[in-house]
Structure formats: structure tokens, C-alpha cells
A and B are shown apart, each in its own frame.
Chain A
Amino acid sequence: MIIATLCGMGFGTSMMLKLFIDDILKAENIKAETTPWDLGSFKGNKADIVVAPVDMEPHLRDYPAKIVLVKNLVDKGEIKEKILRAIDELSHAEGGKTI
């Protein structure tokens, strides 16, 4: 499973998100690859789940992955709940919905 985190440039916000998600996955013993993306170049890339700040939603319409939108990017509780739900739903093979 590939989990991408998205921001404008691929090394600030998206990197913070990636680091939090790495911690969550490790604690939950879930194996997945996490990768930070930037808005300029992500469309050619493939991921199962894309995690992004809530205001980036317009950029992700029609993108073929499960989309997770986060409001508070330093709220580990929000990130954990949403990412685990997305992984769970994906494992039940029902992609394409926004959380």
C-alpha cells in the first residue's frame, strides 16, 4: 500500500504529515510506504491513499485514490482516526470516497 501526503512543495506540510503517519503506522504495526508529494508533479504518480490539507480538496477531485482531508495537521488524533479508517475501508475494497 502506498500512502502519499500532499502539499504545495513536497517538503513542508506534506513532510510533517508523512512523519506523523509513519509514527501511527509503526504503532499500529501496519506496513505501508509513505511518500510526500507536491502539487506540481503529483498527477503522474500512483497511490492508494492521498492525505492532504482540507483546502487542497479542489486539486484532488477526480484523482483515482482514496482521499483523506485533514483540517488540523498537528492533531495526531484527527490524523490517526482518518488514516486508520481509510486503510480499513480500503482493505474492504471500496475505494474512491472522500473522508
Chain B
Amino acid sequence: MDLYELLVPEAIQAKQELADRTAVIQRAGELLAAAGAIEPGYASAMQRVMDELGPYCVIAPGIALLHARPEDGVLRSCLGLITLKTPVVFGHSTNDPVDLAFALGALDKQSHIRALAQLAEYLSQEGFLCGLREAATTDVLKEFIYSYSRA
């Protein structure tokens, strides 16, 4: 599975205004649930993971990769992305505040690995990060991320 197949178009939103990390997690969960990729309870599971394990999911400056376990209600492997108009503090020691929030649903421990590797590679490229951050509307963001990951 490639990154563009893992991405759920309905779960991509640009320049959202969300109050705190709980609101970001809730929105990410709602979008993936509305697309039928996860069960609604998955958002609470992502919240619980953050509460229990800490904000290590802020993997790089400004970038969060939220997820819970396959058994927490993943219906198909999926990835959503919300970019934030005003960055939100997650509580990380060095990488706060967050303006790019990815939400991953993994069906098992393997099927998403190829797509995740592509995402990690892209996230290490300045041009990809700039494109995500500069996209002013959801349509522009979708167009950018799909054309980048299909190139």
C-alpha cells in the first residue's frame, strides 16, 4: 500500500482553528470515522494513548503522528491530516507547538509500513513540509499531497 492509498481524502483539512490537542484528536477521529475507516471510539483511544504514554507522538518540530492500536476500532488502514491555522501545544519537550497533525489507523502491524516509510521520507524533505504548511485551503492541500505522493 502506497501513501496515496493510505490517505483518506475526506479526512484531510487545511488551516483549521482548534483550541487544544484534545480538539485536534477529536476532529481527526471524527473525519476518519465519517469516512468509515475507523469506529467512532478510536478517537478516545488516541486520546488515551496520549494521556498514558505522553506526547512522544510529536515526532518532529510541529508534526504530530497520532494513533492508537489496530484493535481500538480500525476498519481499514487509513491516514488523515489536519493542518492548523494557529499551532497547538501538545506538551512535548522540544517539538511544540504542532501545526501538522496526522492521524493513523493501522489494521495490523504490517500493511501500512510501505506507506509509512514514504511518509517518513517525505517529512524529511523541506519542500514537502513547506507545501503542507503553505496550503491555504483544503482543496489546495489535497491537490499538493496527492500530487507529491504520486510523483
A58 to chain B: closest residue by CB: B54
Find chain B residues with CB under 8 A from A73 CB.
59-60, 120
A95 in the interface (beta carbon within 8 A):
no
Whether A9 contacts B49 by the Cβ 8 Å rule is: yes
- A16 touches which of B59, B94, B95 (Cβ 8 Å): B59
Beta-carbon contact of A76 and B124 below 8 Å: yes
One of A27-35, A48-56, A83-91 at the interface: A48-56
A86-B61 Cα distance, complex, nearest whole Å: 24
B69 beta carbon closer than 8 Å to chain A? yes
| Residues 30-54 of B at the A interface (beta carbon under 8 Å) | 49, 53-54
A-B contact count (CB 8 A): 70
Report whether B53 and A72 are in contact in the complex, using a CB–CB cutoff of 8 Å. no
Asked if A96 is an interface residue, CB under 8 A from chain B, the answer is no
CB–CB A54/B94 < 8 A:
yes
Q: Which one of B93, B104, B116, B120 contacts A54 once the chains associate, using CB atoms below 8 Å?
A: B93
CB-nearest residue of chain A relative to B55? A55
Fill in one digit per residue for A29-48: 1 if any B CB lies within 8 Å of its CB, else 0: 00000000001000000000
A75 with B60: CB separation less than 8 A: yes
Q: Are B94 and A13 in contact (CB under 8 A)?
A: no
Query: Is B55 in contact with A74, judged by CB distance below 8 angstroms?
Result: no
Interface residues on B, range: 20 to 34
Q: Place the interface of chain A in its size category.
A: 20 to 34
Contacts of B49 in A (CB 8 A): 8-9
Q: Is the CB of B123 within 8 A of A12?
A: no
1/0 per position for B87-115, CB-CB distance to A under 8 A? Answer: 00000111100000000101001101100
User: Taking each of B65, B67, B120, which has the highest tally of chain A beta carbons within 10 Å of its own beta carbon?
Assistant: B120
Residues of A within 8 A of B135 (CB): none
Give 1 or 0 for each of A54-80: 1 = CB within 8 Å of chain B CB: 111000000000000001111110000
**Whole-angstrom distance from the CB of A34 to the nearest CB of chain B?**
13
- Measured CB to CB, the residues of B under 8 A from A are 49, 53-61, 63, 65, 67-69, 92-95, 104, 106, 109-110, 112-113, 116-117, 119-120, 123-124
